[in-house]
Structure 1
Amino acid sequence: PKPTTSWVPTIKWSVATEPWPAGATPKAAKGLAVAAFARELKHPRWLHVLPNGDVLVAEAATEPSAGWSPRRIFQNWVQRRSGAIVENANRISLLRDADGDGVAEMRTVLLEGLRQPFGMALVGDQLYVANTDSVVRFTYREGQTRIEEKGTKLLDLPVGHHWTRNLLASRDGTKLYVTVGSGSNIAENGIDKEEGRATILELDLASGRSRIFASGLRNANGMAFEPQTGVLWTVVNERDELGDETPPDYLTSVKDGGFYGWPYSYWGRHVDERVKPQRPDLVAKAIVPDYALGAHSAALGLAYYDGRLLPEPFRGGMFIGQHGSWNRSEFSGYKVVFVPFRDGRPQGQQPVDVLTGFLKADGSGKAHGRPVGVAVDKAGALLVADDTGNTVWRVTGDQPQARSQ
C-alpha cells in the first residue's frame, strides 16, 4: 500500500491493566492445548531452555526515554498505558518442573542486578547474557540455581531507544550472534548516531572480536537456525508513521554482509522519502525480506520447531511471538503464529494462528497479556513469555498423553 505520513502516528490503545481472570488462558488452535507453566513473574520477556530442562526467564522492561521533547513525553505516555514501562526486575529467573507435570514448582533468581537483560545462550559451561549495554559471560554448572559471580564483560553495546539485545550461539559454538536495534525510527537524530545499530553482530568467542554480520535491520529480535540448511533467520520490527499497512514486519533469512534497507528503504527498494540525505547506492543493494508478517504486529519471538510432541500441522517451521500494535487503527499481532517451512523456505501466504485471545473480546481495547519470547522445552512443548500477563504459557497437543509427556 502507498505510505501515508504523519508527525504523530495512528494510535489505538491497548491498555494492559486487566490481569488474566483466575483459570483463564489464551485460546489455543485446534489440536493444541495451553496451560500456565509459571505465573506471577515480573515482566517476563525472553526464554532459554537449558540442557537439563530448566527454563531461564529474562525479566526486564522498557525504561522511560530521557529528555523533555514532545515526542519522548508522548512515547513514555504510550508505553506506560500499554504496560511496557513498569518496575524493572533486571534479573534472570530459573524455573524447574522436576516432576514433569507441565508446571514449574521451583523458582529461583539465577542472576540479578543486570541491566535490562534479554538474550541468553549457553555454550559448554559458559552462560552468555545480553544486557542492553553489553554481552556478559558467567560460568554455569548443570543444575545450578544461583550464580553469585559478577561476570565478565565481552562486548559493549550502544544503548537507547530499541533496548532488546538477543543472543544466539552458532551451531559449532564458536560465535555469538547479537541483535542491536536502531536508536530511532528513521535515523531522525542523524545517521551518525546510528553507528553499530540496526544490525546483527557476530562475536568470535575465542578472540573477542566482533563484526557487523548484517545491517539495515531496524529492530531484529528473535533468531533461529533452519536445521536443514543451517541458515540464520530473524524477525524484524519495521518503521512507524507510514500508515496502517506500510511497511510490514517480517521474517527473513540473514545473509552475511547483507543490507536490508533501514533507514533508506523498506521491503527491498521502496524508498522512504522522509530520510535525508538519501542513499541510492545502498537502496540499490537492499535485500527483499522473505516473508511478511503484517505492519506493526511487533514480531519478537522466534523458534524453529522440529519436535514430535505437537501435532503434524505445527512441525517443521517457525513459531513467532507477536507482541502487538499500538500505532494502527485496528489492532494487529497480540498472538503467537506458526510459519511452515519446506526445503528450507517459508510456505503459505499467511501464518497460522497458534495462540490468540490475549486481547479482550469485548472490544474494550484492553489486553490480558502480550506474547514475546518463544522457546521449545526439553519435552517438545512450546513455551511463550507473556510480559504484561506476567506468565509463561506452555503449549502441547490436546491429547492427554501429549500434555503429560
Structure 2
Amino acid sequence: MKKHLVILPAVAVLVAAGGGCAFFRDEATVPIEQTYGPNPTLAKPRPEWIPNINVAKATPWPEGTLPTAAQGYAVNEFAGGLDHPRWLHVLPNGDVLVAESNAPPKPDEGFSLRGYFMNLFQSQAGARTESANRISLLRDQDGDGVAETRTAFLTGLNSPFGMTLLGGTLYVANADAVVAFPYQGGATEIAAPAEKIVDLPAGRNHHWTKDVIASRDGTKLYATVGSNSNVGENGMDEEKGRAAVHEIDLATRQMRLFASGLRNPNGLSWQPDSGALWVVVNERDEIGSDLVPDYMTSVQDGGFYGWPYSWYGQHVDVRVKPQKPDLVARAIKPDYALGPHTASLGLTFNTGDLFGAKMKNGAFVGQHGSWNRAPRSGYKVIFVPFANGKPSGPPEDILTGFLSPDDKALGRPVGVAIARDGALLVADDVGNRIWRVTPTR
C-alpha cells in the first residue's frame, strides 16, 4: 500500500494539469462494435491494481455549437441554462419535467485507493458540484420545439432522479425514498409537502441515482437501487436491498425485491409490444477496457442477473469471495449488450410515430460515457430496433459529438424521453441543456 500512496501526489498533478489526461491505461483489444448485441465478444478479464483512468474533462459547449445528429436527423436546443439536468418526464399536456440533480453529500469513509481515483474522476467530469435538488418544468407553448418558459416545479428534494405520474399523483425517486405530490394538469409548480411512500436503501450512495415507474394497471411502482460498491468490496452487509429493482404495492406501501444482481440499474421502461419491464444496467469495473459490457434487459420477477458473483450471465468474477455457486448457476444472461464502460443510463421506447414505422417501439439509449476505458466509449445516444418485443438488429448512432476534437467532454447524455409530438428529448447533464432530435427524412 505504501508504494501506491507514494505515487498519489504525482497522479493528482497529472490530472490537475491535463484535463482529459489518461494514465495507467489498459487499451481495448476488441472492436467496440463487437461489444454490442445479444452475443457480444467477451475478452478475458485483465484485473487492474488501480482504476483505468481516462477522464474526459468537462468543458462548456462553445457558443452556437450543437451535438452531431446522424444523417437523416436534426438537433436543436430545447432548453438551456439548467443545473445538471439528469432525467426527464413528459406530462400529458406536453410539459416536460427535468430533474436537476447531483450526488448527495457522502459520509467520511476514510481513505481508499479506489475512492481517491473516483474523486479525481468526478472532479474532472464536472460531477462534484452541489445538487440543485430541483425539478423544473419546461413549456413549449407555441410548439416550435423550444421551451419558452421554465419554472421551479418542485424544490427542496434530495438528489431527485426518476419521476412518474399516476392519475393525480406525481411520484419522485429521491436518493433515499420514493415520495409523492398531488398534481393538477397545467400546474407550473407544486407547493404541497412531500408524502413519503417508502424508504429506499441509501447510506454510502456509491450509486445514488434511482428511477421509478408505475405499473400499467396503476397498482404498483417499480424502483431501481444501484450497488454500494464495484464488486461488493465494502462487504455484502452494505448491499442489502441494493443492485436491484423493487416492487412497491401502493395499497399497502409494502416493498419487495423484484429482481436482483443488477449492479446499477436505471432507465426503467415498458416495452410496448411485449408489455415487459426493461432496464439499462451499468456493469462492474477494473477488469479491463473490454469488460464488462453494460446492457439492457427485460426484468423477470425473481430474476438474478449475476452481480457481484458473476458477469454477463455465469462468467464468475474471481475477485468476489466467498462465491455463491448456487446463485451463479441461475444468473440470467442479459438480452442486449451496450458496450463496456459506456455508462448507459437512459432508456425509453419510441412509442410515437414521428420517426416512422421502422423505428416504432424500438429503444433509445442515453450513454453517459466512460471514465475508465481506452479509447473512450459512449458519449452518445443510440437507437436499437425491436421486433416482437425483442432487439432485432445492431445499434444506430443518433446523436454524437459530445466529445470535442481535443477530447474534452462538452456534454454527457443521460435521460431520454419522447415528447408529445414524438421528438426525442435528451438530458445533457454536463452541457446543462436539453436537446431535441427529429427526423428530416
Task: Output the TM-score relative to the length of structure 1.
Answer: 0.96
Alignment of 1:180-195 (within 5 A): 180-195=225-240
Q: Indicate the residue corresponding to 1:140 in structure 2.
A: 183
Q: Does 1:317 align with 2:358?
A: no
- State the 1:312 CA deviation: 4.6
Alignment correspondent of 1:353 = 397
**Residue pair 1:31, 1:311 contacting (<8 A) in 2 also:** no
Q: Which residue of 1 aligns with 2:32?
A: none
Q: Which shifted more, 387-396 or 149-158?
A: 149-158
Whether 2:49 is the aligned partner of 1:4: answer no
CA deviations over 1:244-278 (Å, ceiling 9, x no partner): 11110001111000000000000110000000100
Amino acid at match of 1:12: N
- Find out whether 1:306 has 2:351 as its counterpart: yes
Q: Is contact 2:272-2:361 (8 Å) kept?
A: no
Runs of 4+ in 1 over 4 A off after TM superposition: none
Pairwise CA distance, 1:316: 2.7
Partner of 1:117: 160
Of 192, 196, 199, the match for 1:149: 192
Q: Which residue is 1:46 aligned to?
A: 87
Instruction: State the Cα distance separating 1:296 from its structure 2 match.
Output: 0.3
Query: What do the CA deviations read for 1:79-103 (whole angstroms, capped 9, x no partner)?
Result: 0111122131010000000110100
**Residue deviations 1:145-166, cap 9 Å, x none?**
1111111101111111100010
Query: What is residue 413 of structure 2 aligned with on the other side?
Result: 371
Matched, 1:25 2:66: yes
* Match of residue 403 from structure 1: none
Question: What is the distance in 1 between the residues matched to 2:440 and 2:66?
Answer: 14
The answer to whether the aligner puts 1:61 opposite 2:106 as a matched pair is: no
Query: CA separation in 1, counterparts of 2:214 and 2:333?
Result: 25
SS state of the match for residue 143, structure 2? coil
Partner residue, 2:138: 95
**Structure 1 residue 307: Cα displacement:** 1.4
Answering whether residue 385 of structure 2 is matched by residue 385 of structure 1, we say no
Q: Unpaired segments of 5 or more residues in structure 2? A: 1-42
* Residue in structure 1 matched with residue 38 of structure 2 by the alignment: none
The CA distance in 2 between the partners of 1:306 and 1:176, in whole Å, is 21
2:385 is paired with a residue whose SS is strand
Question: In 1, distance between residues paired with 2:389 and 2:362?
Answer: 9
Aligned partner of residue 53 in structure 1, secondary structure: coil
Counterpart in 1 of 2:127? 84
- Aligned equivalent of 2:221, options 176, 186, 200: 176
Matched, 1:220 2:220: no
TM-score normalised according to structure 2 size: 0.88
- Write the mapping of 1:203-214 to structure 2, written as runs, cut at 5 A: 203-214=248-259
CA distance in 1, matches of 2:299, 2:64: 41
For 1:208 and 1:263, locate their aligned partners in 2 and report how far apart those are by CA, in whole Å: 29
Deviation at 1:136, TM superposition (A): 0.3
Q: Is the 8 A contact 2:104 2:175 kept in 1?
A: no
Deviation at 1:64, TM superposition (A): 5.5
Report deviation, 1:314. 3.2
Structure 2 counterpart of 1:14:
56
2:307 matches 1:262: yes
- Contact (CA 8 Å) 2:380, 2:401: kept in 1 or not? yes
- Report the secondary structure of 1:189's partner residue: coil
8 Å Cα contact 2:51-2:117 kept in structure 1: no
Distance 1:353 1:315 in 2: 16
Kept in 1: contact 2:279–2:347 (CA 8 A): yes
What letter matches 1:371 in structure 2? P
Give the gaps of 5 or more residues in structure 1. 400-405
Aligned to 1:77, the other structure's residue is in SS state helix
From 248, 272, 279, give the equivalent of 2:293: 248
Q: Does 1:276 align with 2:321?
A: yes
- 1:238 counterpart = 2:279: no
Residue 131, structure 1, aligned to residue 174, structure 2: yes
Is the 1:32–1:310 contact (alpha carbons within 8 Å) kept by the matching residues of 2?
A: no
Deviations 1:110-158 (A, max 9, x none): 1111100000000000000000000001001111111111111011111
The AA in structure 2 aligned to 1:356 is T
- CA deviation after TM superposition for structure 1 residue 366, in Å: 0.5
Letter in 2 for 1:134: A
Q: What corresponds to 1:37 in structure 2?
A: 78
Report the 3-state secondary structure (helix = DSSP H, G, I; strand = E; otherwise coil) of the residue aligned with 1:368.
coil
Task: Indicate which of 166, 191, 203 corresponds to 2:211.
Answer: 166
1:40 partner amino acid = G
